[in-house]
Structure 1
Amino acid sequence: MMILLIFAFLFWFALPVFFTPDSTTFSLLWQPEHGHYGILPMLAASSMLGVMSLVVALPVAVGIAGFCQLNRYRTIATWIRRLIRLMSGVPTVVYGIAAVFLLVPFLRNSAQCGSGFSLLAATLMIVLLILPVMVMVLDSFCQPLAKQLNLTAASMGLSDTQVVFHVIIPAAKKVIGSAALLGFSRAIGDTLLPLMLAGNAPQVAENVFDSIRTLTAHIGLVIATENASAEYNSLFAAGFLLLCINVFITLLIRRVEHAYQHGSSLR
């Protein structure tokens, strides 16, 4: 019910922005001094950040979850699970501060391209942010399944590596999809890391070393400095788009989970 109220609130205040004939909200120019309030560069930046983070984090998450099912590395897997749980509780600002003083100077000095505050810097830290959630989702499915298959695999002469690659990971396809959607949603919804690391330039990035401004960072920047202006009104459109994206991803996750549960009941 609360989500519906928030949705209705944002839609009501975004109506003038969406339906004003001379509105520049859906353009590629953000130049408030010239009357251009386009949020498409921020939408593109959020999408790029989410996709790039997911492309890096998903294979790593699958690899970590698979590694933790190997019996011969059970002790190491226990410590990895503890580390993942610890990472999930680290405040976002800690990642941001560490990146500002370590990652950003490294990118600036090694790449010799830009200030270091870039799409790449934000992506690398977002990967650390979403990785624990994805690993825990995958591990919560794979660990019980691996325990069930231990005796069967041993009786058939299968190694634990073969069980992971040929049984557990193929069986976890739908869960991998849910973890990917959850990670993508978390990536585009984070505010602090893009605000601290992406450079906040309202432009469409041409390469990973360019500065960008995401929708969440845009809302945080503008709401702190503007009030009752055309620039301020663009925030409602940005918030409405973010809510629509997250609702769509949530519905996809529910659909995947329902399909998996239905398939399991049939088996």
Structure 2
Amino acid sequence: MRKNKDADGPAAGEDLIFTAAGPTAHQSEPGDRAGLGTRLAAILAVGAVSLLFVMILAAALPALIQPGPGSPLDWVWQPYQGHFGILPMCLGSLALAGFALIIGWPLALGLCCWLLTEEARAARPLVKLTGTLIRFMTTIPTVVYGFAAVFLLTPLVRTALGGTGMCLLSAGIMLTLLILPTMVLVLEAGLGPRLERLCPWGQALGFSRLDLLRFFVLPKARRNLTAAAVLGFGRAVGDTLIPLMLAGNATQVPGGLTESLRTLTAHMALVTANEVGGAAYNSLFVAGLILLLVNGGVSLALRRLETDARRGKEMRSC
């Protein structure tokens, strides 16, 4: 004897929906459950970041409103004399990240263009090897870069330019190597598909891959170029170990490539290892707030570029 399906209740994956005619079974869509999970994950992520920002801001406010020479918004860091200024470290972070970006971004663009346009059959193994090496560089821990530079790079800088070798130049060179693979991969992901779409008709008209990239792809790739620069800058500002190991950690504004400096990230690592409580320790929350704002600005800039790119595609499709 066959049982009534309605008497057995809804089957697995069905929900009861109450209507004017009584409860009916409704099949739940997998997309609805996936969308709910995505929204919950987004809410948790936004809540965690907001809570982190509020906690750091609450801890930094007492130090920010402190008047006099003990304020962290000062140019002198001499904790034994009551000076806790972190502005030299802010400029040190900007100088080091700017140096790495100025050197690394053109190198990344040139390397990406070569990887995308090299057509010689004899050079194909070298192109594949270079691409593999770039991807491998993204997996190398930062401490390995710093450790290698201490024994290989700083003696060369010391011999050629004098000083200790622990300076803006040494840290900037290694930081350039650190952010270079990231920028190359971002540029390759943005420029490569466009070039491949243009290749069939472009080569039929007699254009080489380099001509297509130079005259058709690059002029329309402003967002990709900017995104690579912004992402590389954020990566450089947030790094800790390379400035800590190679920059010299002098609390001063660098006046040249051979002078030492200290970044915000290295400053936080050094002070945290030696201080617990007190004005010097509290100034670290101001440094953390500044870094959080910088990284938030980088994320917002990337989001804006992504939104503009999507809007441009929608307008072209219309």
CA distance in 1, matches of 2:156, 2:215: 40
Show the counterpart of 1:6: 52
State the alpha-carbon separation in 1 of the partners of residues 221 and 153 from structure 2.
34
Confirm or deny that 1:100 pairs with 2:150: yes
Greater displacement, 30-39 / 146-155: 146-155
Partner of 2:94: 47
Structure 2 equivalent of residue 84 of structure 1: 134
The equivalences for 1:223-262 within 5 A come to 223-262=272-311
State the distance in 2 between where 1:86 and 1:30 align.
39
5 Å-filtered alignment, 1:26-65, equals 26-65=73-112
The equivalent position to 2:256 in structure 1, one of 203, 207, 217, is: 207
1:70-219 matches, within 5 Å, as 70-73=117-120, 74-112=124-162, 114-219=163-268
Moved more, 229-238 or 142-151: 142-151
Deviations 1:22-79 (A, max 9, x none): 3421111001111000000000000001111101011011111111111514443222
What whole-Å deviation, never above 9, does each CA across 1:66-93 have from its counterpart, x for those lacking one? 1111151444322221111000101111
SS at match of 2:116: coil
Could you state the TM-score of these two structures normalised by the residue count of structure 2?
A: 0.82
Looking at structure 1, the residues matched to 129 and 202 of structure 2 have their Cα atoms a distance apart, in angstroms, of 25
Inter-partner Cα distance in structure 2 for 1:170 and 1:266: 19
d(CA) in 2 for partners of 1:137 and 1:2?
A: 27
Query: Residues of 2 paired with 1:260 and 1:49: CA distance?
Result: 30
Separation in structure 1 between the aligned mates of residue 311 and residue 178 of structure 2, nearest angstrom: 31
Greater length-normalized contact order (CA 8 Å, ≥ 6 residues apart): 1
Give, in whole Å, the separation in 2 of the partners of 1:257 and 1:156: 32
Conserved in 1, the CA contact under 8 Å of 2:146 and 2:174?
Answer: yes
Shift of 1:2: 1.4
Given the two structures, how large is their TM-score scaled by the length of structure 1?
0.97
User: How far apart in 1 are the matches of 2:171 and 2:215?
Assistant: 35
Q: Which moved more, 1:150-159 or 1:44-53?
A: 150-159
More helix as a share of residues: 1
CA–CA distance in 2 between the matches of 1:20 and 1:141? 47
Listed as ranges, the gaps of 5+ residues in structure 1 are none
Q: Which residue does the alignment assign to 1:25?
A: 72
RMSD: 1.1
Q: 1: CA distance between counterparts of 2:66 and 2:280?
A: 14
Q: Aligned partners of 2:178 and 2:229: how far apart in 1?
A: 13
Amino acid in structure 1 at the alignment position of 2:235: R
Contact in 1 for aligned 2:271/2:280 (Cα 8 Å): yes
- Rounded to whole Å, the distance in 2 between the matches of 1:159 and 1:144 is 16
- State which drifts further: 64-73 or 132-141: 64-73
Instruction: Kindly name which structure, 1 or 2, has the bigger radius of gyration based on alpha carbons.
Output: 2
SS in 2 for 1:199: coil
Letter in 2 for 1:15: L
Aligned length: 266
Give runs of ≥4 in structure 1 deviating > 4 Å: none
